[in-house]
């Protein structure tokens, strides 16, 4: 590692080596992540609103929604595989190339969903094709997150990593904002019959435009200097074929993987309860129109987009762990209040329910990218962060809508307390994981147990 590269990176974070200003890198990560998550959330919203009736018409409304959420969950199952594959090549050949591939794959899968025939047209082949597209979406998202946050984290300086790397996290509420916004506009100008007949396809087809924008921005980037230094060090001691990031993560960072999985539980589960499940609850269990809950989620997503970088900056001052503790306890308590506010069918309380829930979620999600980046060494950071993040998604976000709807039971005897207990248990897991994690605020990313062992 040269003295020059270290000086430039730490003292002038807006102009790191390779010609990539940190603002440019962060913007590219934000745009690409927003596009990916627009596609991913769009599927979840459509599953809550129309996929049950269109692809599983023989089931009653609640069971049809469960089946639709089943295909939704499959996307999460594919995410760890995507994290391993993209992480492996991202640690071996570079972050940028994998980010471009992930974005293209997600765009193709989402556009294809907009063209799918429904059960009424081709029978059982329709949900099978939907499942295939969802698998591709999950695989792509599995590789997206790690690369996006690492590009921001590895280009930024140590003292402001929480702020800079929180911007890709802001792409998640931005993607949700775009997806919910498009659905809200369609709901405002279309009848329910038109939306179910053809209107739901429009948001999926529009993703092609967003993907092209994201690709253009990402193709302008270069690799981070931190990654290039680690790659050169690995090359000195190992052949390219012998560098196997997944196995090296399991060998050198097993505790960090478990910690990453644990601190994801409350964050991931609560998010899908406060967003996706809330749509199902209001429209199916309370028998209200979708425009009310979509409007509230739209406002909440906009507020969360603003809050994420602010909380990320705060984590640079007070640390990652205190914010994570507060957020985990907050969502566990708020879950017991959340559904009661939805039951009012009043816009004000519903908005409070969603905004406060997502605020507690933000306390965990904003510092998460920096936290995960700091847990793993550079030569395996893409793989380690992705595996920890995505493995937890199988047990958390993938199952959250299904478990929540099952716990709620029938519409006339709904059990919201059971769902609140479910979120509270997830919060306990996260609090324990954060307790065993070390505070990483301000630490250097130039650490690597794999490189260190290679020198022995």
At residue 138, the pLDDT reads 84
Helices (H), 12-60: 22-46, 52-55
Q: Is the model's pLDDT at 445 over the cut of 80?
A: no
Q: Which residue in the block uniquely carries the two structure tokens 């965990």?
A: 364
pLDDT, tens digit (0-9, with 9 covering 90-100), for 325-346: 999 999 999 999 999 999 998 9
Contact 40/137 with Cβ under 8 angstroms? yes
What average pLDDT does range 232-259 have in this prediction?
75
At residue 238, the pLDDT reads 55
d(CA 133, CA 47): 13
What average pLDDT does range 414-438 have in this prediction?
94
Question: Which tops the pLDDT comparison, 418 or 73?
Answer: 418
DSSP 398: T
At residue 13, the pLDDT reads 38
pLDDT, tens digit (0-9, with 9 covering 90-100), for 235-246: 666 544 566 888
- Report the b/e string of 254-287 with b at 16+ CB within 10 A: eebbebbbbbbbbbbbbbbbbbbbbbbbbbbbbe
At residue 8, the pLDDT reads 36
The overall average pLDDT reported for the chain is 82
Contact 410/344 with Cβ under 8 angstroms? no
User: Would you state the CATH architecture of domain 7-454?
Assistant: Up-down Bundle (1.20)
Token pair belonging to 208: 């092609």
- Burial class for 22, CB neighbours closer than 10 Å (0-12, 13-18, 19+): buried
d(CA 100, CA 122): 33
pLDDT, tens digit (0-9, with 9 covering 90-100), for 64-83: 777 777 777 777 788 888 88
Contact 339/349 with Cβ under 8 angstroms? no
**What 3 state SS string does 297-329 have?**
HHHHHHHHHHHHHHHHHHHHHHCHHHHHHHHHH
At residue 235, the pLDDT reads 64
d(CA 296, CA 355): 8
Domain boundaries, the chain: 7-454
Question: Which tops the pLDDT comparison, 310 or 23?
Answer: 310
d(CA 335, CA 327): 12
At residue 427, the pLDDT reads 97
Give backbone dihedrals phi and psi of 220, rounded to 5 degrees, phi first.
-85, -10
Q: Is the model's pLDDT at 367 over the cut of 90?
A: yes
| Helical (H) or strand (E) element with 201 | helix 201-218
Contact 152/164 with Cβ under 8 angstroms? yes
With cut-offs at 50, 70 and 90, classify the pLDDT of residue 3: very low
Helix axes 320-342, 347-375, angle to 10 degrees: 150
What average pLDDT does range 433-438 have in this prediction?
93
d(CA 257, CA 53): 39
Q: How far is CA 230 from CA 92, 227, 256, 269, in A?
A: 10, 5, 19, 35
Token pair belonging to 354: 């969603």
d(CA 245, CA 150): 15
d(CA 38, CA 106): 10
At residue 337, the pLDDT reads 96
Q: How far is CA 263 from CA 56, 81, 436, in A?
A: 35, 20, 10
Q: How far is CA 26 from CA 20, 114, 148, 232, 417, in A?
A: 10, 30, 9, 25, 40
Beta carbons within 10 angstroms of residue 88's beta carbon: 22
- Percentage of the chain modeled with pLDDT above 90: 26
């Amino acid at each position: 590692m040269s003295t020059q590269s270290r000086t430039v990176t730490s003292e002038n974070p807006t102009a790191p080596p390779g010609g990539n200003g940190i603002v440019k890198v962060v913007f590219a990560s934000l745009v690409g992540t927003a596009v990916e998550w627009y596609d991913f959330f769009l599927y979840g919203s459509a599953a809550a609103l129309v996929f049950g009736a269109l692809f599983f018409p023989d089931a009653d409304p609640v069971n049809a929604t469960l089946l639709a959420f089943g295909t939704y969950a499959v996307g999460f199952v594919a995410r760890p595989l995507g994290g391993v594959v993209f992480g492996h090549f991202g640690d071996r050949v570079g972050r940028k190339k994998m980010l471009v591939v992930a974005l293209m794959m997600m765009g193709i899968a989402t556009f294809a969903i907009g063209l799918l025939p429904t059960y009424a047209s081709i029978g059982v082949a329709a949900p099978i094709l939907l499942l295939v597209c969802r698998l591709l979406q999950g695989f792509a998202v599995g590789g997206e997150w790690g690369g996006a946050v690492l590009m921001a984290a590895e280009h930024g300086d140590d003292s402001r990593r929480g702020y800079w790397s929180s911007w890709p996290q802001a792409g998640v509420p931005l993607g949700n904002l775009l997806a919910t916004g498009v659905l809200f506009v369609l709901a405002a100008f279309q009848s329910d019959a038109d939306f179910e007949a053809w209107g739901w396809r429009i948001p999926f087809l529009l993703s092609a435009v967003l993907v092209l924008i994201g690709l253009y921005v990402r193709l302008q980037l270069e690799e981070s200097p931190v990654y290039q230094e680690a790659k050169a060090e690995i090359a000195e001691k190992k052949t390219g074929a012998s560098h196997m990031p997944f196995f090296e993560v399991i060998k050198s960072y097993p505790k960090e993987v478990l910690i990453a999985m644990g601190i994801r539980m409350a964050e991931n589960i609560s998010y899908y309860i406060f967003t996706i499940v809330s749509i199902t609850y209001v429209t199916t269990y309370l028998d209200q129109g979708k425009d009310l809950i979509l409007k509230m989620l739209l406002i909440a997503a906009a507020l969360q987009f603003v809050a994420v970088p602010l909380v990320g900056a705060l984590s640079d001052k007070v640390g990652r762990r205190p914010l994570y503790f507060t957020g985990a306890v907050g969502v566990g308590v708020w879950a017991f209040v959340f559904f009661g506010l939805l039951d009012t069918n009043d816009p004000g309380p519903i908005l409070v329910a969603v905004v406060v829930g997502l605020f507690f979620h933000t306390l965990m999600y904003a510092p998460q990218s920096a936290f995960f980046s700091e847990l793993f060494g550079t030569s395996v950071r893409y793989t380690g962060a992705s595996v920890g993040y995505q493995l937890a998604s199988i047990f958390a976000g993938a199952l959250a809508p299904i478990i929540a709807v099952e716990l709620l039971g029938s519409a006339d005897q709904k059990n919201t307390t059971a769902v609140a207990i479910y979120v509270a248990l997830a919060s306990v897991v996260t609090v324990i994981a954060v307790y065993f994690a070390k505070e990483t605020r301000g630490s250097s990313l130039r650490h690597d147990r794999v490189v260190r062992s290679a020198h022995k």
